Every structure is written in C-alpha cells, then in structure tokens.
C-alpha cells in the first residue's frame, strides 16, 4: 500500500521499500533504457507526491525489469542475486510470499488486505496453504525477492560512492520503533510481537493529547526466551549498508508507552524493557559494522537514561528548540490553566551552542517538529489550532505570546538586539554548527528555507505528511545562492577548537 508512505510505519524493518530502488545501480543503465518508454520516463513532478499512482507505475517498471532479468540477466548479476537470496534466507522468502499474498488480496478485495482477515490457512507463514500459494505463484514471489535485491544493491552503491568520495560515515540508516500490525514482519514473526497493543507516547507539552502510532512492539519475554535474535536481526538489517544508525524513540529500550486496542492514547501504560541487554547488543553490532549510533532521546526521558547512552558510546540528540538554560527563566508568560486562572510559565533562554553536551549530534529540528522558518512564523501553532490538536490547557493567544518571547530569546542568543522580521536562517545554522558536538545534522527543509515540516504528529489524513516535495531538485537546491550561503555558514564553524 504505497499510500502508507510514512517511513516510521514499515511493513517490515528487516527489508526495504522497493519503490526507492535504483535499478541502474544493480543492472546497469542499459537495462533501464530497454524498459518500455512509458514506464522508464519520469512523471511530471507536483508539489505533493501521489504515492498510489507513482507506486503503481514504479511497480510496473520493476516487473518489466524482472522479466528481462529472467530472460537475459548477466551472469554477474545472477550470481550477486543468488548470493543475496542465500544470505537473507527464509526471512526474505517469507517477506516475498507475504508481498505476493497481500497483492493478491488487494486485487481481489481491498477490505480483506489486512492479513488478520485472510483465510485462516494463510495467516501463518508455515502452513501448507501458504506453501501451496508460494509454489503456484513462484514468479510473483521471485519478483519480490528481485525487487529487494535491487533496493539493497542501490543502498550499497550509494554507500560505496560516499566512502570513495572521502565521507567517513556516509549513509545513516533510520530504524523505526515498530512495524505496521498488518505488515510483513507482524505476519512472519508473530511469536516475537504483542498483538492488541500499540506503541505511542503519553501526553506532553508538544502533544497534549498523547500519541498512538499504531505500531507493533516486541515482547520482552519473547526476546529473552530466544536470545534476542529478533533484535539482533533488526540491527544487522539496518546496518548492512550504512555507516551509522539513528534509532527512533530509543527511550523504548527502557520502556514503551503501550495503548490497548480501541483506547485513547492517554489511556496507555509503560512496559519496561531490558535496557542493559539492548544497549549492549546495539553497541556490539555498531562495533562489528564500524558504525556510529544516534538515539532519539527526546520526550519523557527516564532518569539516568542519557548517562546509559553515553556509557555505551551512543550519541543523543541536541535539538535547538530544547537547548535551554535550566533554572534561568528570562521571561514569564501568563498561561491560562484548565480552571481559567492564570498560571506562570517560565520561558528559559537558549543555551549557548558552545555549552551544548558533546555526547550528542547537533540538530536544528526533527521531522516531527517545525522547520526553522515554520517555527519563526508560528506555522506549527497555526496548524495545531486549525486541526484541533491543542490540549485542554492550551490557549492560542498565550502560545503566540510565548513564541514571541522565544523569538526574542533566540535572536538574543544570535547576537541581535531585536528579532529580525524574517528568520535569520544562515545565522541560526551558524549558531547550531558552532557547538562542540561531533556531528551536525540539518534537514533539507532548513537548507531550502521551507515553511512546512515533513510530518505533523497526531495526524494521518488531516495533513499531507511525507508527501511534500522540495520545490526544486536536490541538485538545483544546492546550486541556489541562498542555500550556498547557508552551507557556508554551517561549514565555517565546524572543526574549530
């Protein structure tokens, strides 16, 4: 279902989204050139990606390439493909069978596309009915193995090019906190997961209604009983073609907020996980792959958690919006409470970048938070008000007053006497890049000066999450003089003592 385009609700964290495959990386440019013209030609770009239409077109192209591969694939390609299939083994075959089964159900009846509603004999990968289907649809199953090979070769090609160009890290992979409950992983590894529970987050200042991510969670008892093999497989798959790994919501290694099916996000509870074992395994696999690890340690952080990350050499995340001087309120903003009486909210000044903790990467923002331009323009506040995402204690006027004070405080940290009318993007990037953090991560949206953030938590269809294109190609974006100015502002501060 390509319209489910969030990278944080994958069908399986063991395998890749084949729509991103670059067939030329594995097959050579000639193979793509021989594909039907209407499939190989790119469509006219629009501001929003039509994932359903683009996904269907891309699948037709991949199937055409598979047919040609079966008929005239080179000996070298066939050898690499066979080695890939042997290396990934039963897990790859189960995933490919699931993809073929899922496609057959979608073609027949979209309502029954979710595997828990399939015929009983098809709800488990090891039944005779599933084996019979796989044999009867052997070419379809092989196609999905082939598409995974193309995607894996594509990533390997990029990482090899990055290293050859002198990049010490290259690609940093991103590990989602869970899988889709009706996806491949949940079907093929049912004993590892906990049905009827969804991962989420409790209410906080940024999401006062709490969050329900509709993702499955590993069972800590099952992990322990099977020697943590499912978790190890996950790490190895993510690190197979990367020089680093960002672990989404790494707090889940200590405890996960789980919401029973049918209840509101705030009605969940925390389940504790074996933190020491999971961190030790993460550090071991990072060492084996010569990779760095970044943990998204944002939210309600358990006491001592960041110290545990540092002890294992795992980097946290220093995000500009949260880097404040604790205990030094510069302003006080009256904020109405649920009872209607004003409370006093302390707004703390920004921490000088030189004082940011070094055991973390420096970041302007994340995909779940406003862009630099969006934060300055209060776009996130506008959207939360428009989509009824404000909490019961939120007051729109107070939120705007607070943001105005924040702008003044950030301008002060940048050396301005008063906030400029337009967001000083280059100066903000220069400020963040001047931190002593060993790595700087900046989203393309901030380099391009975009207003909208890629994802708005708490929304599914109400907001075009994960569908916006940059206004120009990546090549044209980097050639833009304003973007070049921002890049120079970042580069100028990196590596200084």
Contacts for 456 with CB less than 8 Å, ≥ 6 apart: 368, 380, 383, 387, 389, 462, 463, 465
∠ Cα 240 11 58 (to 5°): 85
Question: CA-CA distance, 338 to 90, in Å (whole number)?
Answer: 55
Share of the chain above pLDDT 70, in %: 93
Q: What is the DSSP string of 145-174?
A: HHHHHHHHHHHHHHHHHHHHTT-SS--EEE
Q: Report pLDDT for 172.
A: 97
| pLDDT 10s digits, 75-90 | 999 999 999 999 999 9
Distances (CA, A) of 280 to 23, 255, 287, 313: 37, 16, 11, 10
d(CA 318, CA 358): 9
Which tens digit of pLDDT belongs to each residue from 252-306?
999 999 999 999 999 999 999 999 999 999 999 999 999 999 999 998 888 999 9
Dump pLDDT digits (tens) for 314-356.
999 999 999 999 865 554 444 333 333 333 456 899 999 999 9
What the block records as the tokens of 114 is: 């979710």
Q: With CA atoms as reference, report the closest residue to 420 among 370, 377, 449, 364.
A: 377
What CA–CA distance (Å, rounded) separates 283 from 469?
35
Average pLDDT for the chain: 91
Residue 370 has which token pair? 């406003």
Q: What is the pTM of this model?
A: 0.91
Quickly state the pLDDT bin for 42 (edges 50, 70, 90): low
How many Cβ atoms sit within 10 Å of the Cβ of residue 305?
20
Q: What is the pLDDT of residue 11?
A: 95
b/e code 19-52 from CB counts within 10 Å (16+ = b): bebebbbbbeeebbeebeeebeeeeeeeeebebe
Closest CA to 316 of 373, 249, 257: 249
């Amino acid at each position: 279902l390509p319209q489910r385009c969030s990278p944080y609700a994958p069908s399986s964290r063991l395998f890749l989204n084949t729509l991103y495959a670059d067939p030329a990386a594995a097959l050579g440019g000639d193979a793509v050139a021989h594909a039907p013209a209407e499939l190989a030609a790119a469509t006219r770009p629009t501001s929003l990606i039509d994932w359903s239409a683009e996904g269907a077109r891309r699948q037709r192209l991949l199937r055409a390439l598979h047919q040609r591969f079966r008929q005239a694939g080179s000996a070298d390609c066939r050898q690499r493909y066979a080695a890939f299939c042997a290396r990934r083994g039963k897990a790859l075959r189960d995933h490919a069978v699931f993809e073929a089964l899922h496609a057959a159900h979608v073609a027949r009846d979209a309502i029954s596309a979710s595997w828990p509603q399939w015929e009983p004999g098809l709800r488990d990968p090891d039944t005779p009915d599933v084996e019979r289907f796989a044999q009867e649809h052997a070419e379809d199953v092989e196609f999905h193995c082939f598409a995974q090979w193309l995607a894996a070769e594509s990533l390997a090609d990029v990482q090899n090019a990055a290293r050859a160009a002198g990049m010490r890290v290259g690609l940093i992979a991103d590990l989602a906190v869970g899988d889709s409950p009706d996806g491949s992983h949940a079907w093929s590894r049912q004993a590892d997961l906990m049905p009827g529970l969804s991962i989420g987050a409790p209410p906080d200042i940024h999401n006062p209604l709490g969050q329900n991510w509709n993702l499955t969670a590993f069972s800590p008892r099952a992990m322990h009983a099977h020697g943590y093999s499912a978790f190890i497989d996950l790490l190895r798959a993510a690190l197979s073609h990367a020089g680093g790994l960002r672990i989404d919501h790494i707090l889940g290694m200590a405890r996960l907020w789980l919401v029973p099916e049918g209840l509101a996000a705030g009605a969940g509870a925390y389940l504790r996980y074996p933190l020491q074992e999971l961190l030790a395994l993460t550090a071991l696999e990072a060492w084996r792959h010569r990779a760095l690890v970044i943990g998204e340690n944002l939210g309600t952080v358990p006491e001592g958690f960041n110290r545990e990350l540092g002890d294992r050499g795992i980097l946290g995340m220093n995000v500009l919006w949260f880097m404040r001087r604790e205990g030094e309120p510069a302003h006080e903003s009256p904020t109405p409470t649920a009872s209607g009486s004003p409370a006093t909210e302390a707004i703390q000044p920004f921490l000088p970048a030189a004082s940011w903790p070094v055991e973390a990467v420096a970041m302007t923002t994340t995909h779940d938070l406003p862009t630099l331009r969006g934060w300055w323009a209060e776009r996130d506040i506008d959207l939360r008000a428009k989509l009824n995402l404000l909490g019961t204690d939120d007051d729109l006027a107070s939120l705007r007053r607070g943001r105005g004070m924040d702008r003044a405080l950030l301008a002060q940290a940048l050396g301005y006497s008063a906030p400029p009318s337009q967001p000083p993007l280059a100066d903000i990037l220069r400020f963040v890049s001047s931190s002593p953090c060993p790595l700087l991560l900046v989203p393309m949206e901030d380099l391009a000066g975009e207003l909208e953030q890629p994802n708005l938590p708490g929304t599914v269809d109400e907001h075009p999450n994960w569908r916006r294109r940059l206004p120009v190609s990546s090549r044209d974006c980097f050639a833009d003089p304003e973007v070049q100015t921002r890049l120079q502002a970042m580069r100028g501060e990196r590596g200084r003592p």
